Amino acid sequence: MVDTQRTLLLGNLAAVEGAIYAGMRFFAGYPITPSTEVAEGCSRELPKIGGRFIQMEDEIASIAAVVGASVSGMKAMTATSGPGFSLMQENIGYAYITETPCVVINVQRGGPSTGLPTKVSQSDTMQARWGPHGDYTAIVVAPSTVGDTVTETIRAFNLSERFRTPVVILMDEIIGHQRELISLPKPGEHQVINRVKATVPPEEFEPFQLTANGVSPMAAYGEGYRTISTGLTHDPMGFTTNEPEEIKVKLDKLRNKIMDFRSEITKLRVEMMDDAEIAFVSYGSVSRAVLLAVALARSAGVKVGLVQLYTVWPFPDNKLRDYCQKCQKIIVPELNMGQIVHEIRRVMPPDTEIHSLQRYDGEILTPMQILEKLEEVM
Amino acid sequence: MATVEKTKSVEKQKSDVVLNYFRPRKKLPSVWCAGCGNGIVMSAVIRAIDKLGYSKDEVAMVSGIGCTSRMPIYLDFSALHTTHGRALAFATGIKFAKPHMKVIVITGDGDCLAIGGNHFIHACRRNIDITAILINNYIYGMTGGQGSPTTPSGAISTTTPYGNVEKHFDPCKLAQAAGASFVARGTVYHTPQLEKAITNALDHNGFSLVEVISNCHTYYGRLNHRGDAVSMLNAFKENSVSTAKAKKLSPEEMEGKFIIGTLHEDDRTEFCDEYQKLVDAHMGEK
C-alpha cells in the first residue's frame, strides 16, 4: 500500500505542517533568511483552511500581531532568524508577563548583527532563554531533523497552550533548508492540547489566578469576559501593582508554573548510554553528526553515547545527571563559542571532565571532527 | 433657573453614561493630572460607543505606553495595554483574528509617531478597520516633559531646553498620505464635535484616525508659559478653524492655526474584507 502521507519536505515547511496539525490558524511574519519559507508556506496553506496570514512591517509588529491573535483565541505563530529574533525580544517578554500562548520559530544563522544569513549557527541558545529583560522562565525546544520539526512544532504548541506561555523553537539553517523524506502524522496520531478556557461567570473570573496545575484558564476577547492584559506587573485580576507581595506572587507564578512541572516539558533522546564512559550532549542539527560519530566509535569498541536535548530550556538538570552518572567525560559539540556547555558544567559533579567542541565559522561540525575530539579526550 | 436645571440634568445623564463603562473592581482615581485632557477624550470615546450601540463585548481597546495609554485599564472592554509604540500592531492581530470586533487604539504623539511611526503608516496603508485616537499634547507626559515628534519648532521641553530645532509631524497629513480612509481632527475644547468625529471614525469601515489636540499643562504648558488647563483649552478654541472656514482663509490667515473636522474620507477596500475574499476563493483547495 502506498503511504500517501510520505513526502519529501523542506525543514521550514515541516514546521508549517506541524503547526497546522497543532491547530495554528494565524501567522504573522516578516521575510528573513533562512526562515522565509515558513512564512511563504503559511501564506499558501492558511487561506485554504480558513486561517489567516499577514506579512507585517517588521518583526516587532509580527510578534505583536501574534499576541493580539492569541488573546483573541487563535493559535498563532511567527518565524524568524537571528536579527529578527533580537527585534522580537521586547514583545516576547510581553507574552511572558501576560501569559499569552504563542510559538516563535528561530531558524538560527550566524551573528552577531547581520552576520551570516545563509550559514548555520546555534549561537542563539542563550538568547532564546534570556532574550527579553526581566525575570521569567522560558520553554525552548530544538528539533534535529525534518521529521523532528513536525513533531517538535506540535509539541511546542501543546506546551504553549498547556502552560500559557510563548515557546521558542530553535531550528537552524541546516534543518530549515534540508529536504528529507518523511511521513506526515495522521489525524489523531499526536495529541493536540488546547488552552483551558474560562468557565466561571465573568464577575468571578480572575485572568491570572493561581491554580493547582500552575496555569490560569484563559478567556478570549469578545466572549463575555472583557479581561485586561498589561505588560505592567499585575495582580490576579490583571490590575497593575506596585505592592511587593503582589509583585513576588506574579514573578513566582511565571517561574513555578514551568519549573514545578518540568518533567512534563523535558524531552531527551538517549542513545547507547547504558555502558557509556564518555557522553556527547548535543541539540539541534549537530546531533545528526554526533549520532554517526557515536555509531562509528562504537564499531571501534569505544564506550560512548549520546544525550540529545529536544527540550533545551528549562534545562533537564536531574535527567542529564542520571543518564551521565557513569560518565567521567562529557563532550559538548555546539555551533557557537560554547553556550549550553555552561549548563552541563553547572549540573554535573565537579570531578566530571567536560569538554567543549566549538565551531563558529558558518560550517557544520562533521562526524570526523567529532571523532577527532573524542580521540583527543580519550 | 429652568435652563440651569435642564443643563444639570443633561450633564447628569452624560456622566451616567460614562460611569456605565468604567471597569468594575478597578480602583480610581486615574494616573492623570487634574485637568488633563485625557479624561475629556475618554468621555467622548465612551459616548460615541454608547451612541453607536456597540456591546461592551464587541469592543477591544488597545494601547501602548504613555499617559494616554492607561485609558483601556479603566474601561470595561477587552483591554490590551501593550509595549511602547506597538499598539497598532497588536490591534492588527486582534482585528484580523476577530474581524467582527470593534478595535480602538488609544495612543499619544510619542507612542504613535516616534517609536510607533512605522506601525502607524503601515496600518494606514493596509486600511485595516481600526480606529486610532491619537491624543496629541505635543510632549512626552509620563516621562516628564521631553520633546516629541509633534513638539513645535522652538518650543521648550526637558530635552529641548534651548528650543526645539526639529520640525514636527502633521499626523493627519501623514495618515492621509499613507492611505488611511478616514482622517479627522478635534480638540478637547470642542467636545460635541470631538464626540461626532469619533462616532464617524468608529462607524467608518477602514483605518480611521482622530487626532485630538489636548493639553499637558503640567509639562508643555508650564515649560512654554501657556498657563493652566483652562488657558490652554481657550487657546485651542482661538487657534482652531473649521474645515468650512479654512477654505475661505489665505495661508497667511491660517498661520498658527489648525483645522478641525473631517479632513479626509474615502471608500477604499478594507484589509480584512479583502482577505476574506481570498479565503472564500481558495478554501478547501489541496
Could you report the per-residue pLDDT of B116-162, keeping only the tens digit for each? Answer: 999 999 999 999 999 999 999 999 999 999 999 999 999 999 999 99
Please state, in angstroms and rounded to a whole number, the distance separating the CA atoms of residues B37 and B26: 21
Asked if A200 has any chain B CB less than 8 Å from its own CB, the reply is: no
The residue whose grid cell reads 512541572 is A261
Residues A373, A251, single domain; the answer is no
Residues A93, A78, single domain; the answer is yes
Give φ, ψ of B281 to 5 degrees. -75, -25
Separation in Å, CA of A234 to nearest CA in chain B: 11
Chain B residues whose beta carbon lies within 8 Å of the beta carbon of residue A58: 118
The residue whose grid cell reads 486615574 is B30
Q: Which of the listed residues A248, A265, A282 is the one where a domain comes to its end?
A: A265
Chain A residues whose beta carbon lies within 8 Å of the beta carbon of residue B273: none
Q: CB of A64 within 8 A of CB of A93?
A: no
Give the CA angle between residues B190, B192, B196 to the nearest 5°: 115
Q: How confident is the model at residue B2 (pLDDT cuts 50, 70, 90)?
A: low
Residues 6+ apart with CB under 8 A from A204: none
Domain assignment of residue B238, yes or no? yes
Residues 6+ apart with CB under 8 A from A45: A16, A20, A51
Radius of gyration of chain B, Cα coordinates, nearest whole angstrom: 19
Q: What is the DSSP string of B154-190?
A: T--BTTBTT---S----HHHHHHHHT-SEEEEEESS-
pLDDT of residue B97: 98
The residue whose grid cell reads 502506498 is A2
A243-252 contact pairs (CB < 8 A, 24+): A249/A210, A250/A97, A250/A208, A251/A135, A251/A136
Closest residue in chain A to residue B69, using alpha carbons only: A230
Closest residue in chain B to residue A75, using alpha carbons only: B97
pLDDT of residue B26: 75
Please state, in angstroms and rounded to a whole number, the distance separating the CA atoms of residues B120 and A317: 46
Q: Which of B81, B122, B284 sits opposite A229 (nearest CB)?
A: B81
Asked if B225 has any chain A CB less than 8 Å from its own CB, the reply is: no
Lowest mean pLDDT among A188-192, A344-348, B20-24, B80-84: B20-24
Separation in Å, CA of B118 to nearest CA in chain A: 7
Chain B residues whose beta carbon lies within 8 Å of the beta carbon of residue A206: none
Burial B108-143 (b: 16+ CB within 10 A, else e): bbbbbbbbbbbbbbbbbebbbbbbbbbbbbbbbbbe
Q: CB of A316 within 8 A of CB of A298?
A: no
Residues A276, A259, single domain; the answer is no
Q: What is the CATH number of the domain that holds A326?
A: 3.40.50.920
pLDDT of residue B10: 63
The distance from CA B109 to its chain's CA centroid, rounded to whole angstroms, is 9
Q: Summarize the confidence of residues B35-54 as an average pLDDT.
A: 97
Q: Evaluate the CA torsion angle B161, B164, B166, B170 in order and state its sign.
A: positive
Among residues 82-121 of chain A, which lie with CB inside 8 Å of chain B? Answer: 90-91, 94
pLDDT tens digits for range A29-75: 999 999 999 999 999 999 999 999 999 999 999 999 999 999 999 99
Q: CB of A329 within 8 A of CB of A356?
A: no
Cis? peptide before A207, omega within 30° of 0: no
Chain A residues whose beta carbon lies within 8 Å of the beta carbon of residue B270: none
Among residues 5-34 of chain A, which lie with CB inside 8 Å of chain B? Answer: 26, 28
Residues A177, A316, single domain; the answer is no
Asked if B107 has any chain A CB less than 8 Å from its own CB, the reply is: no
Q: How confident is the model at residue B8 (pLDDT cuts 50, 70, 90)?
A: low
Please state, in angstroms and rounded to a whole number, the distance separating the CA atoms of residues A287 and B237: 70
Q: Number of A:B CB contacts under 8 A?
A: 143
Please state, in angstroms and rounded to a whole number, the distance separating the CA atoms of residues A69 and A57: 16
pLDDT of residue A120: 97
Residues A243, A362, single domain; the answer is no
Q: How many Å is the maximal CA-CA distance in chain A?
A: 69
- Which residues span the domain enclosing A325? 268-377
Which one of B94, B120, B273, B285 would you mutate to disrupt binding with A, by most A Cβ within 10 Å of its Cβ?
B94
Please state, in angstroms and rounded to a whole number, the distance separating the CA atoms of residues A306 and A288: 10
| Torsion angle defined by CA atoms of residues A159, A38, A24 and A310, in that order, rounded to the nearest 10 degrees | -20
Q: CB of A43 within 8 A of CB of B279?
A: no
Asked if B19 has any chain A CB less than 8 Å from its own CB, the reply is: no
Asked if A228 has any chain B CB less than 8 Å from its own CB, the reply is: yes
Chain B residues whose beta carbon lies within 8 Å of the beta carbon of residue A72: 60, 93-94, 97-98, 101
Q: Summarize the confidence of residues B90-102 as an average pLDDT.
A: 98
Domain assignment of residue B265, yes or no? yes
Q: CB of A352 within 8 A of CB of A324?
A: yes
Asked if B63 has any chain A CB less than 8 Å from its own CB, the reply is: no
pLDDT of residue A365: 97
Q: How confident is the model at residue B13 (pLDDT cuts 50, 70, 90)?
A: low
Q: CB of A109 within 8 A of CB of A33?
A: yes
Separation in Å, CA of A313 to nearest CA in chain B: 25
Asked if A138 has any chain B CB less than 8 Å from its own CB, the reply is: no
pLDDT of residue A5: 76
Q: Which of the listed residues A250, A265, A280 is the one where a domain comes to its end?
A: A265
Asked if B28 has any chain A CB less than 8 Å from its own CB, the reply is: no
Residues 6+ apart with CB under 8 A from B157: B139, B140, B145, B146, B147, B148, B151, B164, B219, B220, B223
DSSP annotation of B268:
P
Total domains in chain B come to: 1
- Taking 50 as the pLDDT cut, the residues of chain A under it are 1
Closest residue in chain A to residue B285, using alpha carbons only: A48
Q: Which of B81, B95, B285 sits opposite A231 (nearest CB)?
A: B81
Radius of gyration of chain A, Cα coordinates, nearest whole angstrom: 21
pLDDT tens digits for range A303-320: 999 999 999 999 999 999
Q: What is the CATH number of the domain that holds A208?
A: 3.40.50.970
Domain assignment of residue B277, yes or no? yes
Contact B89 A64 (CB under 8 A): yes
Which CA distances in Å does B123 have to B208, B229, B261, B279?
A: 10, 33, 22, 21
Contact A222 B57 (CB under 8 A): yes
Q: Which of the listed residues A220, A236, A265 is the one where a domain comes to its end?
A: A265
Closest residue in chain A to residue B277, using alpha carbons only: A47
Domain assignment of residue B247, yes or no? yes
Per the DSSP assignment, residues forming a β-bridge with A26 are A52, A76
Closest residue in chain A to residue B121, using alpha carbons only: A57
pLDDT of residue A3: 61
pLDDT of residue B14: 62
Mean pLDDT over the full length of chain B: 95
Chain A residues whose beta carbon lies within 8 Å of the beta carbon of residue B95: 68
Residues A316, A258, single domain; the answer is no
Residues A257, A361, single domain; the answer is no
Please state, in angstroms and rounded to a whole number, the distance separating the CA atoms of residues B79 and B246: 38
Residues A195, A287, single domain; the answer is no
Residues A142, A155, single domain; the answer is yes
Q: Summarize the confidence of residues B224-247 as an average pLDDT.
A: 97
Residues A329, A261, single domain; the answer is no
Contact B94 A72 (CB under 8 A): yes
Q: How confident is the model at residue B12 (pLDDT cuts 50, 70, 90)?
A: low
Contact B97 A76 (CB under 8 A): yes
Select from A122, A128, A107, A135 the least CA-distant residue to A32: A107
Q: CB of A119 within 8 A of CB of A231?
A: no
Q: Which three cell numbers stand for residue A308?
A: 540529545
pLDDT of residue A235: 96
Chain B residues whose beta carbon lies within 8 Å of the beta carbon of residue A227: 78-79
Domain assignment of residue B106, yes or no? yes
Residue B196 has pLDDT above 90, yes or no: yes
Domain assignment of residue B82, yes or no? yes
Chain B residues whose beta carbon lies within 8 Å of the beta carbon of residue A226: 23, 56-57, 76-79
State yes or no: ipTM above 0.90: yes
Please state, in angstroms and rounded to a whole number, the distance separating the CA atoms of residues A238 and A248: 14
Select from A171, A176, A175, A116 the least CA-distant residue to A361: A116
Separation in Å, CA of B255 to nearest CA in chain A: 36
Chain A residues whose beta carbon lies within 8 Å of the beta carbon of residue B282: 47-48
Residues A214, A294, single domain; the answer is no
Total domains in chain A come to: 2
Q: What is the CATH number of the domain that holds B201?
A: 3.40.50.970
* Claim: this prediction has a pTM higher than 0.90: yes
With residue B139 as reference, give the H or E element that holds it.
strand B139-140
Chain B residues whose beta carbon lies within 8 Å of the beta carbon of residue A87: none
Cis? peptide before A314, omega within 30° of 0: yes
- Which residues span the domain enclosing B187? 34-282
Residues A246, A278, single domain; the answer is no
